[in-house]
Structure 1
Amino acid sequence: MKTLKLLTISVLLSVLLTNCKNEPSADDLRLETADKQLKANLKMYTSTWDEIINKRKIDLINDTNFDHNITLVSNPKNIVGIKEFKAYYQNYLTGFSHVTFTITDVFGQGDKIVKHWNFKGQHTGDFFGIPATGKEVNIDGVTLVKMKNGKIAQEQDFMDNLEFMQQLGMIPK
């Protein structure tokens, strides 16, 4: 009787193990692929902006890293296209020296990234038509990002512009 019970348990286990597949579902595979893409996007995004600002490699704003229709959501008008986007950020490299750009935190979901950053520098050159003041700036901000096919497709920056202008000496505190 004991042998029959062991045989029955053995057969049941064999049937269960044969029918039990260790293959991931389509949803599991989709999530794994999305997670890998997000990690790749985050790595590319942070290293690209570190190189552009801290190492002053403005030419990294190109069609390898950015969608050809890159859009900076801005007021009164969006900045669209690599050439215009590059010209906009050139103002930061022309206007400031001794720059330190730090990504404090970055995270995302799907094709969206949120970047919390800090920008420090000395205003030693023309910055969007504002002549050099020699003043130091230290400003925090957040950027909302959309990626497309592993490239940066859209950005929208948020920072305290009043504080920024006060630090530049353009507006009294």
Structure 2
Amino acid sequence: MKNYIKYLSIFTLISLISISCDTVQTDNKLSENSKTYEKVWAQFFDERDMDVINSQYFTEDVKVVIPGDDIIGIEATKDYYGNYLTGFSDAEFTFIDLFGQGDKLVKHWNFKGTHDGDFFGIPATGKKLDLSGTTLILMEDGKIKQEQDFFDSLDMLTQLGLME
């Protein structure tokens, strides 16, 4: 009986150490993914650097999930997000919150700017936009693999003077 308790105690201790190591690895992965993700979008919006959308930070088959046909690939993703820089010369992008687990992140964000350029084919309206939303992100090997934004598109179109 003593040996049974001894072996059970050793097994329990090893199990706890193993679980603790897995938790540390998951926390480290989340921390690294979050840092990379924040760095990319800060560089994109703050420095207006579209070239940060590259194979160092994005998988070759990166996907932006949108209604209709998804945006797939680095160049297509760069073109897609470039609309925010060309459409709003004073674009401000703020992370309100970023959290997740392992390779999955959730970003709560706010975007502000004056619509003074072409934005997805919509000519400049001169209107101010203040829009908040949420993005689901999937990372793979420390790179952005997929994004899907959720925001009130009716509110956006109303603020731009395109809907009443």
Alignment TM-score, normalising by the size of structure 2: 0.89
Q: Is 1:118 the equivalent of 2:110?
A: yes
Aligned equivalent of 1:145, options 95, 112, 137: 137
The one-letter code of the counterpart of 1:67 is T
Among residues 119, 127, 147, which one is paired with 2:119 in the alignment? 127
Which structure 2 residues correspond to residues 21-36 of structure 1 after superposition, within 5 A? 25-36=17-28
- Partner SS, residue 92 of structure 1: helix
RMSD between aligned residues: 1.8
- Letter in structure 2 aligned against 1:68: E
Number of positions where the alignment pairs a residue of Structure 1 with one of Structure 2? 155
Find out whether 1:99 has 2:97 as its counterpart.
no
Identical residues among aligned pairs (%) = 46
Q: C-alpha displacement at 1:101, in angstroms?
A: 0.4
Q: Does 1:62 align with 2:62?
A: no
Q: Supply the distance in 2 between the matched residues of 1:159 and 1:75 (Cα, whole angstroms).
A: 12
- The superposition leaves residues 45-85 of structure 1 with CA deviations (integer Å, 9 ceiling, x where unpaired) of 11211111222111000000011110001111111000100
1: CA distance, partners of 2:157 / 2:51 = 28
Q: Distance in 1 between matches of 2:98 and 2:65?
A: 19
1:8 maps to what in 2? none
Q: Please, which of 151, 154, 161 is the counterpart of residue 146 of structure 2?
A: 154
User: Are positions 1:171 and 2:163 aligned together?
Assistant: yes
Asked which structure has the greater CA Rg, the reply is 1
**Structure 1 residue 27, shift from structure 2 partner:** 2.5
The structural deviation recorded for 1:161 is 0.3
TM value normalised by structure 1: 0.84
Q: Which runs of 5+ in 2 are unaligned?
A: 1-5
What letter corresponds to residue 167 of structure 1 in structure 2? Q
Q: Which structure 2 residues correspond to residues 10-49 of structure 1 after superposition, within 5 A?
A: 25-49=17-41
